[in-house]
């Protein structure tokens, strides 16, 4: 590992929010996007927590195979609505349907985080869960949300901001987890690696 406060690593994610959170926290990393096809991973028969971990690990392993001496970090975020796994919407109509459902009652946002380095057999995979208590959306708010396009490439078709969100009453758990990278969990995982 490199010298300094944190080890440098490869982030196997295209998410600009993950990059921003990690950069602002002082981590040094490069981005290599995983080439896995998420659609081949069946969500049936597994919990949302297991599914998020499965995808995070697949992303990390995919990039680690091309960079065997590097520490590779993968992450994946999903929503759990009454036991149903909800990922990223494919189009505006699906985004509308997801938003109507999720903002009708509390739901969980789960992010799986995996850290892999093949040269010395390091493989950690954990997940964090945050409960989101939404505000009831008006028809106008729903329409503006869909037309605005901020749902694109977001699990659960929305993105909470650090200073709160007009659609969210409160959360229980990690805010950065809802944003796509549970920073507290990630720091603990790096600590585990340092101890090996």
pTM: 0.86
The catalytic residue among 35, 37, 76, 80 is: 76
Domain count, the chain: 1
165 given a catalytic annotation:
no
Question: CATH number for the domain including 93?
Answer: 3.90.950.10
**189 within domain boundaries:** yes
Asked if residue 1 belongs to a domain, the reply is no
The answer to whether residue 4 is domain-embedded is no
71 in a structural domain: yes
Residue 72 lies in a domain: yes
Domain ranges, residue 145: 9-194
Question: Is residue 126 in a domain?
Answer: yes
Domain assignment present for 38: yes
> Within a domain: residue 2?
no
pLDDT tens per residue, the chain (196 residues)?
A: 333 455 799 999 988 999 999 999 999 999 999 988 777 777 778 899 999 999 999 999 999 999 999 999 999 999 898 888 887 777 888 888 888 887 888 999 999 999 999 999 999 999 999 999 988 877 887 788 788 777 777 666 666 654 456 678 889 999 999 989 999 999 999 999 886 5
Question: Which positions ≥6 away from 153 have C-beta within 8 Å?
Answer: 15, 88
Could you give the CA distance from residue 185 to residue 21 in angstroms, rounded to a whole number?
A: 13
Residue 129, both tokens: 């869960």
Nearest CA-CA partner of 39 in 58, 13, 67: 58
Could you say which DSSP state residue 137 is in?
A: P
């Amino acid at each position: 590992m490199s010298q300094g406060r944190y080890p440098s690593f490869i982030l196997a994610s295209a998410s600009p929010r993950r990059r921003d959170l990690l950069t602002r926290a002082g981590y040094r990393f490069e981005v290599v996007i995983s080439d896995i096809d998420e659609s081949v991973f069946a969500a049936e028969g597994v919990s949302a927590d297991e599914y998020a971990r499965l995808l995070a690990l697949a992303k990390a392993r995919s990039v680690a195979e091309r960079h065997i001496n590097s520490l590779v970090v993968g992450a994946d975020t999903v929503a759990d609505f009454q036991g149903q796994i909800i990922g990223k919407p494919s189009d505006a109509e699906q985004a509308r349907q997801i938003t109507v459902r999720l903002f009708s009652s509390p739901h969980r946002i789960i992010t799986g985080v995996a850290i892999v380095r093949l040269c010395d057999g390091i493989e950690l995979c954990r997940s964090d869960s945050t409960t989101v208590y939404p505000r009831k959306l008006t028809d106008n708010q729903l329409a503006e949300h869909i037309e605005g396009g901020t749902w694109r490439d977001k699990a659960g078709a929305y993105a909470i901001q650090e200073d709160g969100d007009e659609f969210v009453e409160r959360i229980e758990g990690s805010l950065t987890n809802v944003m796509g990278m549970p920073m507290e969990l990630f720091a603990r995982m790096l600590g585990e690696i340092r101890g090996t």
